[in-house]
Amino acid sequence: MGHSPSISFAKFTAPKTGNVIVLAADGGTISERGQAVDPAGVLKKAFGIAEFTGKAASTVEVLAPQDTGFDRLVAIGAGSPDKLDEQLWLRLGGVAYPLASSAPTGTVILDLPDDEIASEMAATFALGMALRAYSFDKYKTKKGKEDDKGASAKAKKDARIVIQCADPAAAKKEFAAREAALEGANLARELVNEPANMLGPLEFADRARELEKLGVEVEILAEKDMKKLGMGALLGVAQGSPRGARLVVMQWKGGKAKKKPVAFIGKGVTFDTGGNSMKPVAGMEDMKGDMGGAAAVTGLMHTLAKRKAKVNAVGIIGLVENSVDGASQRPGDIVTSMSGQTIEVINTDAEGRLVLCDALWYCNDRFKPKFMIDLATLTGAVIVALGQNHAGLFSNDDELAERLAAAGSATGEKLWRLPLGEEYDKLLDSKNADMKNVGGRQAGAITAAQFLQRFVKDAAWAHLDIAGTAMGSPATDTNKSWGSGFGVRLLDRLVSDHYEG
Ligand code: BES
Ligand code: MN
Ligand code: ZN
């Protein structure tokens, strides 16, 4: 899946060949070990010519510097030391990746003053590199046409990258913990990028089944099982597709036996045509990514199991295709959810909430979890409200919401809280059933969240609307992929900060 570059850590030694990278602080200051690789001062000279001042994430490179065996000598700006936080270290790694890997070997001199955090920062930097390295090219038959235009240098996938730092063994250990999150994020990216002809509900369930190798217990419920449970809302969405429907229940039992699990629930619409309330042609291909929530939950379960997190975690994903066919549900149809509540389907394109309402109810009913967090590419309205740099956060629990927002700031997978309230909830009342599945033109992201809240009773719950962030968000220094893997690192951090041990 994807590609993980070769990254290792070593003690400081004079590099002989390949690309050599040093960091420069504000004002273009380079550490002593950085200066040592540039005795002739060619970098310093280049700083002046390029007007390089060490501004964070800016770069200068010198090609084939004289009297060295190097291909390139590169400086990356680290900015002012007091602003060098975790997010920036991650980003610097992303900036460095193509510059380090355009030669057979890339050496990064990470000479940090504060030894205590130096290993963590080196590992975070390495994670940034590895996140940047992912690209989705399995269906390109002509390899080698580089699509990474992020730098003048072209990344070579087989390059060996060495990060020189004060305590390589410690950095290696720190990086191993982060590699679990990298793998999870790359799994989510890969699932989102896969086209819907390759990845339908059954194929997705097979991919989730593979987590058994890591010790995750995986149960797969088919249509008849869901019918028995009364999941009429989820099955109503699936009924127009020949690709079937699955509910996958993943359990990672890394915590104490009696401890309540934390639960993550994902929307897995492997393609969303809108159904009879069909979507317009323009951009419909993006709806292959309408399983971004399920991808994040699957990636998270991979991560937790891989790093043997000391937590009991449940991941539940509802997998369906929202298709158009003689058998598809119609606007006006009334379905009965597992909760017993009836729903008038005004718009068959508001299908994600119909999938999630049964998955949430099932999760709460069966597991009585400590909290439930659902992730869904749920509404276009959240993109109108927040754009593509923050996901929408809704919650009935302030502590959970605050912890989520903090994990978002730390990982760069940012959240912004939007309100819930009775006035919004009322918009879902229906003439013909207990509720309708759309609220009207206003506050579309909020009424979608209100709909979900009708299925969580008094459980602590948060809903992340990742329609703008799971796919098609602007490329960053650490993500060049259409499917971003959003949510995996965020939730892994939430768990490791608050719910382990
Ligand atoms: N999957 C879409 C939401 C979406 C839109 C995700 C754009 C990513 C990018 C969802 O199923 C949907 O169609 N929502 C409708 C709801 C409406 C009918 C109330 C929407 O947002 O238009
Ligand atoms: Mn839809
Ligand atoms: Zn959808």
The 10s digit of each residue's pLDDT in 299-353 is: 999 999 999 999 999 999 999 999 999 999 999 999 999 999 999 999 999 999 9
The per-residue pLDDT for 240 is: 98
Bridge pairing between strands 391-395 and 333-336: unpaired
Residue 459 and residue 361 in contact, taking contact as beta carbons nearer than 8 Å: no
Cα–Cα distance measured from residue 57 to residue 477, given in angstroms and rounded to the nearest whole number = 9
Q: Which residue puts its alpha carbon closest to atom 16 of ligand 1?
A: 350
Q: 1-33: per-residue pLDDT in tens?
A: 556 899 999 999 999 999 999 999 999 999 999
**What value does the CA radius of gyration of the chain take, rounded to a whole number of Å?**
24
The per-residue pLDDT of the chain, averaged, comes to: 96
- Cβ of 349 below 6 Å from ligand 1: yes
Is there a catalytic annotation at residue 353?
yes
pLDDT at 234 > cutoff 80:
yes
Find the largest Cα–Cα distance for the chain.
Answer: 82
Give the distance (Å) from ligand 3 centre to CA of residue 266. Answer: 12
Mean pLDDT value of segment 375-388: 98
Give the distance (Å) from ligand 3 centre to CA of residue 382. Answer: 13
Cα–Cα distance measured from residue 486 to residue 347, given in angstroms and rounded to the nearest whole number = 27
pLDDT at 250 > cutoff 60:
yes
Mean pLDDT value of segment 486-490: 98
Give the distance (Å) from ligand 1 centre to CA of residue 246. Answer: 21
Split at pLDDT 50, 70, 90, the class of 145 is low
The per-residue pLDDT for 415 is: 99
Nearest by Cα to 231 from 315, 356, 116: 356
pLDDT at 291 > cutoff 70:
yes
pLDDT at 151 > cutoff 80:
no
pLDDT at 115 > cutoff 90:
no
- Cβ of 385 below 6 Å from ligand 1: no
What one-character-per-residue DSSP string does 248-303 give?
Answer: EEEEEE-S-TTSPPEEEEEEEEEEE--TTSPPPSTTGGGGGGTTHHHHHHHHHHHH
Closest ligand to 437 CA? 1
Mean pLDDT value of segment 44-68: 96
The per-residue pLDDT for 15 is: 97
Bridge pairing between strands 415-417 and 160-164: unpaired
Residue 391 and residue 469 in contact, taking contact as beta carbons nearer than 8 Å: yes
Cα–Cα distance measured from residue 264 to residue 352, given in angstroms and rounded to the nearest whole number = 15
Nearest by Cα to 390 from 410, 371, 409: 409
- Cβ of 37 below 6 Å from ligand 1: no
- Cβ of 331 below 6 Å from ligand 1: no
The per-residue pLDDT for 1 is: 53
Cα–Cα distance measured from residue 140 to residue 90, given in angstroms and rounded to the nearest whole number = 29
Residue 290 and residue 340 in contact, taking contact as beta carbons nearer than 8 Å: no
Q: Quick one: tokens of 305?
A: 């199991």
Cα–Cα distance measured from residue 168 to residue 190, given in angstroms and rounded to the nearest whole number = 31
Q: Which residue puts its alpha carbon closest to atom 5 of ligand 1?
A: 380
Q: Quick one: tokens of 477?
A: 């220094």
- Cβ of 483 below 6 Å from ligand 1: no
Mean pLDDT value of segment 278-299: 98
Q: Return the best residue to mutate from 346, 379, 464 for the ligand 1 pocket (most ligand atoms within 8 A of CB).
A: 379
The per-residue pLDDT for 149 is: 47
Among the listed residues 279, 310, 370, 417, the single catalytic one is: 279
pLDDT at 146 > cutoff 70:
no
pLDDT at 148 > cutoff 70:
no
Q: 424-453: per-residue pLDDT in tens?
A: 999 999 999 999 999 999 999 999 999 999
